[in-house]
Amino acid sequence: MAKIFSGKIALVTGASRGIGRAAAVALGREGAHVICVARTVGGLEETDDAIQKAGGTATLVPLNLKDFAAIDRLGASIFERWKKLDALFGNAGTLGVLTPLTHLDPKVFQELLDINVTANWRLIRSLDPLLRQSDAGRALFVSSSVARKHLPYWGGYATTKAALEMLAFTYAAELSGTNVKANVLDPGPVRTLMRAKAMPGEDPATLPRPEELTPMILEALSPSYEKNGELIKFRK
């Protein structure tokens, strides 16, 4: 039976752990060649091992998403090697610090903006021409329900995730009439290190594992997925 991503090129940010690693492995299992982007070489190598074990292949890209010029070079490198990109999973993000807005350190707020917002804009800017070269380019960005709430102490993270949603939905509107679709995933509480940092007293065993999200992620990145500008919510 043909795999749904056979012959496809997929890029995953934050691929060294959590939801990103689970998505990268699932994409590889379904036939995609996965471009895995993350800061840590060791984590990327572990993801590569898991992809190979699942029967897939990967290219590892150690990259700090705050290096915006490197994102531009990444797009050029993908064009030189593959001429296209079929799927972009913009998963990487940072929590920052849960604190009153008046106590939020400017350096922390800038890092939240750089990783959660600007890096995704730079990815769109760099990779959009490649997605348009695909017969069915798909982009999916990871947000959070806090982007649509007004919770005390979550201001830094929530503000940047709200900006990310506006960025992604505006991009989706601009894709109207093309072969590219862009959507946003709200995964809800998931058993990840970021969740543990935000909720240290929570029992992780009560939360879904990242792997439980992968059917939804694969569906949203598949060529047959025709929705555009949608907020996709995970429910266990």
The residues annotated with a catalytic role in the active site are: 157
| Distant-in-sequence, close-in-space partners of 11: CB < 8 Å, separation ≥ 6 | 34, 35, 37, 78, 85, 87, 88, 89, 127
Tokens of 86: 């079929």
Nearest to 190 by CA among 229, 172, 216: 216
Do the Cβ atoms of 38 and 20 come closer than 8 Å? Answer: yes
Q: How far is CA 187 from CA 46, 119, 191, 194, in A?
A: 23, 20, 11, 13
- Written as one letter, the residue type at 133 is Q
Do the Cβ atoms of 50 and 25 come closer than 8 Å? Answer: yes
Run of H or E residues at 71? helix 68-82
